[in-house]
Amino acid sequence: MRAASLLILAALSGPASAQFLTGNQWLDRYRSSGTDRIYALGFVAGAIDSSEVCMPVGATLGQAAEIVERALVGLPEMRHLDAAAFVVAATQTAWPCKQPRKPAARRPEVTL
């Protein structure tokens, strides 16, 4: 399962200069206080909301952030990569979907 997460993370990662936030930057903000920590929590919420994470009923944003922190601490050699990819990979690993994901609906082809 961890290997699959790393593959997903690698696929989603781009060059560090084009990223919004790296794992290192996210971890620094999360471990801070005040607005930096709030920013880190909001970042997790945004990444989860814009992806296919099956967050269980009753799970909290704090739990999700702790899962991401644990992933970043456990993979220091990858912290320079995209933080959003870490959020998605770590939470999807921790909370795998029970139902297979439905494929995206295909748009009908239009011939002019």
Distance CA 45, CA 61 (A): 7
Report, at the CATH architecture level, how domain 2-94 is classified. Answer: Orthogonal Bundle (1.10)
pTM: 0.72
Digits of tens for pLDDT over the chain (112 positions)? 555 455 455 444 444 434 589 999 999 999 999 999 999 999 999 999 999 899 999 999 999 999 999 999 999 999 999 999 999 999 999 999 987 655 555 656 655 5
> Domain map of the chain by residue range?
2-94
Nearest to 91 by CA among 53, 58, 45: 53
